[in-house]
Amino acid sequence: MQESNLVKLAAAAFVAAALSAPALAADTIKIGVAGPHTGDLAPYGLPSKDAAEMVVADVNAKGGINGKKVELMIADDQCKPEIATNVATKLVSEGVNLVLGHVCSGATKAALGIYKGAKIITISPSATNPPLTKSGEYPNFYRTIAPDDDQAMLAASFATDKLNAKKVAILHDKGDYGKGFADFAKEAIEKGGKAKVVMYEGIQPGAMDYSAVIQKLRKEGADVLIFGGYHPEASKLLSLMNKRKINVPFIGPDGIKGDGFLKIAGKDAEGVYATGPMDVSKYPLNAKAREEYKAKYGKEPGTFFDQAYAAMLAALNAVKVAGSTDYEALGKALKSSQVETTVGKIKFDAKGDAEGVGFAVYQVKNGAFAEVK
Amino acid sequence: MSHLKRSLGIGLWFMFLTLPLMVVRVNTVSREVEWRWSNLVWVGICAFAIAWFWQFSIERRAAQRAKVAAEPHPEKDRPSLAQRLADDPVLSRRVLLAAALIALIFPWAVSTTQNFYHVNVMVSALIFVVLGLGLNITVGLAGLLDLGYIAFFAVGAYTYALLAKGFGLGFWMCLPLGGVMGMLFGVVLGFPILRLRGDYLAIVTLGFGSITKIVLENWDTVFGGAAGIAGIPRPDFFGLPLDGREKSIYTYYIVLALVAVTIFVTNRLKNSRVGRAWMALREDEIACVAMGVDMARTKLSAYALGAFWAGLAGVIFAAHNNFINPDSFTFMDSAMVLAMVVLGGMGSILGVIIASLALKLLPEYLRAFAEYRMLVFGAVMVLMMIFRPQGLINNMRRKYEYDTADVESNDGGK
Amino acid sequence: MAASSTRGGKKLLEVSGLTMDFGGLRAVDNVGLDIHAGEIVALIGPNGAGKTTFFNCVTGIYTPTTGDVRIHTADGATRRINGMKPNRITGLGMARTFQNIRLFPAMTVLENVMIGRHCRTGTTILDAILGTSRSAREERESIDTSYQLLKKVGLADVADEYSRNLSYGAQRRLEIARALATEPFLLLLDEPAAGMNPQETHELDELITRIRDEENVAILLIEHDMKLVMNISDHICVMEYGKEIAQGTPKEIKENPKVIEAYLGEEAHA
Amino acid sequence: MDFQYLFELLCGGVVKGSIYALIALGYTMVYGIIQLINFAHGEIYMIGAFVAFIVAGVLTLTGYSGLGILPLAALIAVIYAAAYGYTLEKIAYRPLRNAPRLSPLISAIGASIFLMNYVQLVQTPDFLPFPELVPDFEFLGDLTQFMSSVDVVILAVTTVTMIALTVLIKYTRIGKAMRATQQDMVMARLVGVNVDRVISATFIIGSVLAAIGGVLIASRTGQINSAIGFMAGIKAFTAAVLGGIGNIPGAVLGGLVLGVAETFGAGYISSAYEDVFAFGLLVLILILRPAGLLGKAVKQKV
């Protein structure tokens, strides 16, 4: 073969490849699923992945949406911001149309800038950090979970109105999530004027001992403790409190409302209050999805499964209504079209928060969370 | 035969050792005990095989040692690849040129306007190359163990984030500022620990690293707390608008240039009065001082210079990621950078570069093994120390040129 | 005190009433010693007599509990150097070797000597990075001076070798070359002949006298090899249990009954 | 001034400090003999807690119950921790005995990372509920506001362990050999001490103490996971350095000082800065006394 032929051939192949790439992309609707799939936070990310896979299998079995199959692009961000930006770049460069994720607020924040630049809509099942929607900085961001300030306000009003607390102690784990919750709760209580915040402190996650903080709690005479953080620290605090015979009602965020907390805290969990997404088991779609999950995986679905399932349904509905994956059209569809999901009938408000989802207060009774009416 | 017996014994020992952890798993929710006996068999077989191989390696190593001890000048007999490269200026220049060319073309070759993932990955890796080379000055050359090096990286990153967001300062303005801030911190932290010896230094630097992270986490009015700082501007290119890919490639070139400068500077220093003093300090502090080297100054300069590079790298890190929070600056990150220096070969520039790239790129592309990544990482650190303590590439000392004849005539004339 | 009055030359080092305590232990007790230009002075005594501690006090590694260490520099000034940092003392013109060899093993022989040039050069980090003319000049000068010193101690042919690969005797000579590179007016040698065979000791004997004569350096040495000491010393100080028990010329020391009893007694007849 | 509060904090600090001291002893003994910072010591503590968790779990779930669980679980945990400590030394440190100082330290960091991830892989990265092994002591009554029953057990066990350790080091053969090796390894070998065995014994004793600490603290906090060893190790090491590393009473004093300082810092200022108090105190003390509280400023032999 002559050299010029070789060059021509190569050029032809290149052109063909270049042309075929966008053509291929148009064939499917590409949805990125980003979250922690390995590492210690994987339990928060894997249920979302499972939910997305279930919804997509379902939709594709029925012939896809607008005649196109849905394709998932799974990407692991380990909840680390620097990995999340890489993951986002990767998804964007591979031509993703829509992203389900990310799971952690920090990683979401890091990745959102990239999606925003590429005009890609992102729906998170779990990133509850309020400014994500309320700052207006990320018009491409939506979520199927209520933001932290909602539940913090609920926790605060529950403490002052239902438990009639006069002196409230607030602790947090210094993390983005826990501290955010604690800050909003503090603000709500101070604004409400019904009680005083007598103690507001961060604790070191992973520390061996919190007895100093607990002694302080007693000294300040707090009659309610609001804690912002996750279940390991919550159960450690409770265990120490019970050993020291300090019986102060404990209110935590949805980070402790799960089996993980019940498992670790054991009998210390009894009587603990936690705010959490409203009970969604009454929705028929939810029951169905959970049944399917149990049939498929042989266990109960994990954290954020419902929200992720709902986000997927909302996203696909929007694609259907908009008739394309165009950014503007999708955004409009998400904000206008009501859709039946696992968390109820929802649509999104102007800032990207789902209307119709909210929080309720639960209490541990006989080893299970029960809604406090 | 005795090998076989010992290996068998070791196999059994490890079966005993791993019995509770690898076989039993207690599920506290379903209140069941899971027995995984097959694991035990695997452990036995693997431990047996490894023990066999281990004894063989240790024996070989001992034999090598004996050989080295018997021959007074072993280095002369076995010049390493790196040494041969360094000794051959034509070849080394060619290799260098080729490497530079590849590095320059790389971002255009692997990216399209849509897909520039590889470029971003490489930028992250090169940032760690700079970090590795910076710590190489402190640990590799001057022998000052620093387990909190990542704090200086954080100082650089937050300097840029705060100055850019708060005062609208540009990237190029902040780059040197970040370095200088890192250096200032290096000096401030360096002072109290001048008197401390190696092991004390380890825990105190580790403490400094933790303190830095805690302060960043807690002082949220300034540093944004755990939520971090988002929306940090990317480097500006004479005010021209760049698309995503161009931005990435631009950042790539910036960090590549920084790597080049770091190599140049380290190389110059290594073979200078200052570099020799660092190495002498590392080898023997008392002899070094007795030979007229000012310990405080030498230590501080090594500390400050190492911190300077970390500060620079931090600025680029913040600019590249647009977002920083304290989670990027943990002890594990410090340990990672230290591992780059040690595994690469203390003091060896090429070794540190190779180790940094390997440690950052392999996990990125071997996501499938992510679970085992840290396990392997830990094991490699131990094994490297046992079988190749000098690191991938031995730090070669330069041979100085001296004109024997000339000196002789001087001598004669005296 | 039996200090000899016949010693010539300018006084270089003047130690008086030097005492060093470690906790309750008095390692050096009120020792005085002068060294004059061009002299070779030996400090002898049984093991544990406090000789190395005396060295360490004089060279700044330890700060003496009481007493004075003074040096008379070339410009005629007198400086008290107690508690001064070792590197400054070296800078003022006193350099030492170590009893248990302390070289820089992972550096080449030449580089070991070049470290000695550190305090006589001033290239800064910036100079080194930018490659200024000062840096180039000093580097050239360092290499040449160091090489010359290596020739003097007979190590020129192994200049590029790692110092850890040298033989014992060669390492001792390298330490001397390294100390000489700091341009001292007084060289302190701590047991330079330890571990050497008779042939090597003999060569060392010549080397020390040659250094004194050619480099115009006074020498203070600690040594157990009595033959070497008696051969080359102009003045000897004897220590026992931290105390100075005698001083004088080799002849005086040999005849001193206290010394014979305490120290030479056994060895001289052995 | 609220004296009750002060006293409560003091009690908390002492309990915490005695745990630090237990773990710190392992660091300081190893350091005293081979001048190595055994970074993996915290992982031994974690492994001790894990083994106890597994044994207790198996026993409870197979229907065995009663007071016997605590001693049995603790005993097996101690045996396993000792085995791990022994093996760790053989693999990761013994081949490096004559290597440059930095090598064993890096090896130790590597071993620490390895062990942490090993447990995470073969068990779980999740937090696990650690059974309450210590029953509530009725006789404590109102005193529980100062000290819970676990705290009392911790203090008692720590005190007994330390007395036992002192006796062991002062009066037994191996203890004497250890002291000899600590003074001068070469000399000890010359007079017939089997130095290798002494070093192994040191690792075993240190690991035993760490495992006891692990079981106690796990039953106090009620949870374990594979990462607990790291922070405990760092703190205990800080305590060892604070007291003067290589010095056994120093480790105990260092642990107590650190525990009390942290608790007071957290109680009177803010718990958010607890670790800053710990490390700040360390830096401060090292500036004032570079060899630690009880460490002797050993003049380097020149």
- Which chains sit next to C, with 3 or more Cβ pairs under 8 A? B, D
Q: How far apart, in whole angstroms, are the C-alpha atoms of residue A297 and residue D251?
A: 51
Q: How confident is the model at residue B36 (pLDDT cuts 50, 70, 90)?
A: confident
Chain B residues with CB under 8 Å of D47 CB are: 21
Residue of B nearest to A130 (CA): B227
Q: How confident is the model at residue A16 (pLDDT cuts 50, 70, 90)?
A: very low
- Nearest beta carbon to residue D272 from set B39, B218, B381: B218
> pLDDT per residue over A184-209, tens digit each?
999 999 998 889 999 999 998 888 88
A·D CB contacts under 8 A = 118
| Interchain CB distance below 8 Å, D110 and B378 | yes
Percent helix, strand, coil in chain A, to 5, is 50, 20, 30
Do C59 and C89 touch, CB atoms closer than 8 A? yes
C158 DSSP 8-state letter: G
Give contacts of A 69-108 with D, CB under 8 A. Answer: none
Mean local confidence (pLDDT), C216-241: 90
Mean local confidence (pLDDT), B36-54: 87
The reply to whether A288 touches chain D by the CB within 8 Å rule is no
Q: Is the pLDDT of residue D135 over 80?
A: no
Residue A151: per-residue pLDDT: 87
Residue D256, min C-alpha distance to chain B (Å)? 18
Residue D187: per-residue pLDDT: 85
Bridging pattern class, strands B32-35 and B24-27: antiparallel
The predicted complex's ipTM stands at: 0.82
Residue of A nearest to B28 (CA): A263
Q: How far apart, in whole angstroms, are the C-alpha atoms of residue B119 and residue B248?
A: 7
Q: How many domains does one find in chain C?
A: 2
On whether residue A195 sits in a domain, the answer given is yes
Chain C residues with CB under 8 Å of D302 CB are: 52, 56, 61, 98-99, 102
Share of chain D above pLDDT 90, in %: 31
The reply to whether A278 touches chain D by the CB within 8 Å rule is no
The reply to whether D238 touches chain A by the CB within 8 Å rule is no
Q: Is the pLDDT of residue A344 over 70?
A: yes
The mean pLDDT value of chain A amounts to 85
Distances (CA, A) of A318 to A140, A324, A325, C151, C188: 14, 9, 9, 86, 88
Q: Which of C150, C183, C216 is the last residue of a domain?
A: C183
Give contacts of C 139-168 with B, CB under 8 A. Answer: 139, 142-144, 147-148, 151, 156, 159-162, 165-167
D148 DSSP 8-state letter: -
Parent domain of C89: 1-93+184-270
Amino acid found at C268: A
Nearest to residue D232, comparing CAs of D11, D47, D16, D20? D20
Mean local confidence (pLDDT), D126-142: 76
The reply to whether C138 touches chain B by the CB within 8 Å rule is yes
Give the 3-state secondary structure of residue C150: helix
> pLDDT per residue over A240-287, tens digit each?
888 888 889 999 998 888 888 888 888 888 999 999 878 888 888 888
Which H or E element spans position C236? strand C235-240
Nearest to residue C224, comparing CAs of C166, C175, C270? C270
> pLDDT per residue over D33-53, tens digit each?
888 888 899 999 999 999 999
Chains B and A touch (3+ CB pairs under 8 A): yes
On whether residue C126 sits in a domain, the answer given is yes
On whether residue C98 sits in a domain, the answer given is no
- Nearest beta carbon to residue A236 from set D145, D150, D223: D223
Chain D residues with CB under 8 Å of C98 CB are: 302
Q: How distant is the alpha carbon of residue C228 from its chain centre?
A: 15
Q: Which of C139, C167, C183 is the last residue of a domain?
A: C183
Residue of B nearest to A117 (CA): B244
Q: Which residues, in sequence order, are bridge partners of residue A201?
A: A171
Q: Which of D286, D300, D301, D302 to mutate to test the interface with B (most CBs of B within 10 A)?
A: D286
Specify whether C83 is located in the same domain as C166.
Answer: no
On whether residue A165 sits in a domain, the answer given is yes
Specify whether A19 is located in the same domain as A123.
Answer: yes
Specify whether C27 is located in the same domain as C46.
Answer: yes
Residue D190, min C-alpha distance to chain C (Å)? 20
Distances (CA, A) of B406 to C145, C147, D216: 12, 11, 75
Parent domain of A243: 149-278+360-371
Specify whether A237 is located in the same domain as A178.
Answer: yes
Q: Which of C61, C89, C104 to mutate to test the interface with B (most CBs of B within 10 A)?
A: C104
**Is A17 or B267 the better-scoring residue by pLDDT?**
B267
Residues in chain D: 302
On whether residue A103 sits in a domain, the answer given is yes
| Interchain CB distance below 8 Å, B214 and D91 | no
Count of CB atoms situated within 10 Å of the CB of C69:
25
Mean local confidence (pLDDT), A131-154: 89
| Interchain CB distance below 8 Å, C106 and B410 | no
Q: Which of C183, C215, C234 is the last residue of a domain?
A: C183
* Radius of gyration, alpha carbons of chain A: 23
Cα pseudo-dihedral C139, C142, C147, C150, rounded to 10: -140
Q: Is the pLDDT of residue B69 over 70?
A: no
Give the 3-state secondary structure of residue A248: coil
| Interchain CB distance below 8 Å, A264 and D15 | no
> pLDDT per residue over A51-61, tens digit each?
999 999 999 99
Specify whether A353 is located in the same domain as A365.
Answer: no
Q: Which of D274, D276, D277 to mutate to test the interface with A (most CBs of A within 10 A)?
A: D274
Specify whether C86 is located in the same domain as C192.
Answer: yes
Amino acid found at B400: Y
Q: Which two tokens stand for residue B270?
A: 């290594």
Q: How far apart, in whole angstroms, are the C-alpha atoms of residue A48 and residue A43?
A: 10
Residue B198: per-residue pLDDT: 67
Residue A79: per-residue pLDDT: 83
Chain B residues with CB under 8 Å of C151 CB are: 407-408, 411
Which H or E element spans position C267? helix C265-269
Residue B318: per-residue pLDDT: 94
Nearest to residue B291, comparing CAs of C43, C104, C208, C37? C104
Nearest to residue B245, comparing CAs of B104, B113, B108? B113
| Interchain CB distance below 8 Å, B21 and D54 | yes
Do C253 and C238 touch, CB atoms closer than 8 A? yes
Residue D205: per-residue pLDDT: 93
Chain A residues with CB under 8 Å of D232 CB are: 208
Give the 3-state secondary structure of residue A20: helix
Residue A282: per-residue pLDDT: 83
Mean local confidence (pLDDT), B46-56: 86
Residue D301, min C-alpha distance to chain C (Å)? 9
Nearest to residue B378, comparing CAs of A31, D136, D121? D121
| Interchain CB distance below 8 Å, B244 and A117 | yes
Residue of C nearest to B293 (CA): C87
Residue D1: per-residue pLDDT: 60
The reply to whether D99 touches chain B by the CB within 8 Å rule is yes
Specify whether C85 is located in the same domain as C218.
Answer: yes
B280: Cβ contacts below 8 Å, ≥ 6 apart? B287, B288, B291, B293, C104, C107, C115
| Interchain CB distance below 8 Å, C143 and B401 | yes
Q: What are phi and psi of B33, to 5 degrees?
A: -110, 130
The CATH number covering residue A183 comes to: 3.40.50.2300
Specify whether A232 is located in the same domain as A365.
Answer: yes
Q: How far apart, in whole angstroms, are the C-alpha atoms of residue A324 and residue A343?
A: 25
> pLDDT per residue over A282-325, tens digit each?
888 888 999 999 998 888 888 889 999 999 999 999 999 998 88
Q: How confident is the model at residue A1 (pLDDT cuts 50, 70, 90)?
A: very low
Q: How far apart, in whole angstroms, are the C-alpha atoms of residue B77 and residue B75?
A: 5
Q: Is the pLDDT of residue B410 over 50?
A: no
Residue of D nearest to C54 (CA): D302
Distances (CA, A) of D98 to A130, A267, C107, D103, D246: 57, 53, 19, 10, 19
Chains A and D touch (3+ CB pairs under 8 A): yes
> pLDDT per residue over B197-209, tens digit each?
767 788 888 889 9
Per mean pLDDT, which range of B36-40, D85-89, D285-289, D296-300 is the poorest? D296-300
Considering A30-34, B4-8, C131-135, D138-142, the range whose residues carry the highest mean pLDDT is A30-34
- Nearest beta carbon to residue D299 from set C62, C99, C100: C62
Strand order in the sheet with A339-341: A339-341, A344-348, A354-355
Specify whether C41 is located in the same domain as C151.
Answer: no
∠ CA D113-D117-D122 to the nearest 5 degrees?
155
The reply to whether A122 touches chain B by the CB within 8 Å rule is no
| Interchain CB distance below 8 Å, C99 and D299 | no
On whether residue C215 sits in a domain, the answer given is yes
Q: What are phi and psi of D55, to 5 degrees?
A: -60, -45
| Interchain CB distance below 8 Å, B114 and A95 | yes
B229 DSSP 8-state letter: B
Percent helix, strand, coil in chain D, to 5, is 75, 0, 20
Q: How far apart, in whole angstroms, are the C-alpha atoms of residue B240 and residue A131?
A: 30
Query: Can you list the positions of beta strands (E) in C37-97?
Result: 40-44, 66-72, 78-80, 94-96
A206: left (phi over 0), alpha (psi -120 to 50) or beta: left
Specify whether C89 is located in the same domain as C188.
Answer: yes
> pLDDT per residue over C35-89, tens digit each?
998 899 999 988 888 899 999 999 988 889 999 999 988 777 888 988 889 999 9
Residue D286: per-residue pLDDT: 83
Specify whether A30 is located in the same domain as A139.
Answer: yes
Strand order in the sheet with A69-76: A69-76, A28-35, A98-100, A121-124, A141-143
Residue A14: per-residue pLDDT: 46
DSSP C93-117: TEEE--SS----TTSBHHHHHHHHT
Tokens 């009065």 correspond to what residue?
Answer: B273
Specify whether A22 is located in the same domain as A158.
Answer: no
Residue of B nearest to C116 (CA): B291
Specify whether C130 is located in the same domain as C47.
Answer: no
The reply to whether D144 touches chain A by the CB within 8 Å rule is yes
> pLDDT per residue over B350-409, tens digit each?
999 999 999 888 877 776 677 788 888 889 889 888 888 878 887 766 777 776 654 443
Q: Which two tokens stand for residue D182?
A: 């600590």
Q: How far apart, in whole angstroms, are the C-alpha atoms of residue B156 and residue B321?
A: 13
| Interchain CB distance below 8 Å, B29 and A263 | yes
**Is C241 or B316 the better-scoring residue by pLDDT?**
B316
> pLDDT per residue over D250-293, tens digit each?
999 999 999 999 999 988 888 888 888 988 898 888 888 878 88
Peptide linkage before B3 cis (omega within 30 of 0): no
Q: Which of C111, C119, C127, C163 to mutate to test the interface with B (most CBs of B within 10 A)?
A: C111
Q: How far apart, in whole angstroms, are the C-alpha atoms of residue B15 and residue B29?
A: 28
Cα pseudo-dihedral D200, D203, D207, D208, rounded to 10: 60
Indicate the pTM of the whole model.
0.85
Bridging pattern class, strands C40-44 and A121-124: unpaired
Distances (CA, A) of D206 to A41, B400, D85, D200: 33, 50, 8, 10
Q: Is the pLDDT of residue B240 over 50?
A: yes
Q: How distant is the alpha carbon of residue A223 from its chain centre?
A: 31
Residue A130: per-residue pLDDT: 86
Specify whether C225 is located in the same domain as C262.
Answer: yes
> pLDDT per residue over C185-220, tens digit each?
999 999 998 888 888 888 899 999 999 988 889 999
Tokens 């000794």 correspond to what residue?
Answer: B87
Distances (CA, A) of B295 to B185, B278, C90: 19, 9, 13
